[in-house]
Amino acid sequence: MKYSFQAKIYQIGINWAVDVPRDISQKMTPEKGYIRVKGQINRFDFTQTLVPVKNAPYRLFVNLIMMKGGKTAVGEIAVFEIEQNHTHVDKMYPMPKLLADALQHHELTKDFNHLSPTRIKDILKYLSYVKTEETMKKNIDKVILQLKNKEKNTRIP
């Protein structure tokens, strides 16, 4: 889902940044505290990571390429559109059809998608090496059982 907001670019140390509204960052899933995003600054595309700040909103650092592409500067208000970037999971390891079908059959697709991106990647990576359909089904059954039992970090094998 894409989220839009406007923010004034400020300087912190030698870096430029904006604060991402909490109501937006709270709708995204952090991975080790960070949130990978893709989006636009004044209609200029970028890929970046939101950085957590203690007792403050997530921070989006604005680099020189983003500044030039977005035709903006420190002290100016820029228009941002961001969405969580999950492509690193999808590109590397595709979802096996058997897993997708099983998740849908057991109504666990939403539960699977709410796992951390790293956990999803680990599952898809493991399943990508499975050679036989029988072994694939056994491992998918384990994933389904873990999701039903709300076990988020147990190993498949």
Same domain for 42 and 11: yes
Q: Let me know whether 33 and 58 are in one domain.
A: yes
CA dist 136 and 101 (Å) reads 13
Asked whether residue 50 falls in the same domain as residue 72, the answer is yes
16 shares a domain with 76: yes
Q: What does the pLDDT read at residue 106?
A: 95
Q: How far apart are CA 157 and CA 24, in angstroms?
A: 37
Whole-angstrom distance, CA of residue 19 vs CA of residue 10 = 9
Q: What is the CATH number of the domain that holds 41?
A: 2.40.30.100
User: What's the pLDDT score for residue 86?
Assistant: 78
Domain boundaries, position 111: 97-149
Percent of the chain with pLDDT over 90: 74
| Alpha-carbon distances of 139 from 12, 27, 75, rounded to whole Å | 48, 31, 53
Cβ neighbourhood burial of 143 (10 Å; 0-12, 13-18, 19+): buried
Residue 46 lies in a domain: yes
Residue appearing with tokens 């090496």: 129
Residue 94: pLDDT band (50, 70, 90) is confident
Asked whether residue 29 is domain-assigned, the answer is yes
In a domain, 91, yes or no: no
Condensed to tens digits (0 to 9), the pLDDT of residues 105-141 reads: 999 999 998 888 888 888 998 898 888 999 999 999 9
In three-state secondary structure terms, 77 is strand
Q: How confident is the model at residue 80 (pLDDT cuts 50, 70, 90)?
A: very high
Residues 75 and 109 in one domain: no
Total number of domains constituting the chain: 2
Question: For residue 157, is pLDDT > 70?
Answer: no
Q: Are residues 28 and 71 in the same domain?
A: yes
The answer to whether position 48 is within a domain reads: yes
Strand partners, 7: 78
Calpha distance 61→58 (Å, rounded): 10
The predicted pLDDT at position 21 comes to 97
- The pLDDT of residue 89 is above 70: no
Residue-level pLDDT at 156: 63
Cα(4)–Cα(142) distance, integer angstroms: 39
* Per-residue pLDDT at 155: 64
Tell me, yes or no, whether 122 lies in a domain: yes
Same domain, 12 and 57: yes
Give 104's Cβ-side CA count (13 Å radius): 7
Q: Are residues 78 and 102 in the same domain?
A: no
The structure tokens listed for 129 are: 């090496």
Residues 15 and 67 in one domain: yes
Same domain, 68 and 9: yes
Give SS3 for 75: coil
Clarify whether residues 6 and 34 are in a common domain: yes
Same domain, 103 and 71: no
* Cβ-based neighbours of 44, under 8 Å, separated by 6 or more: 66, 69, 70, 71
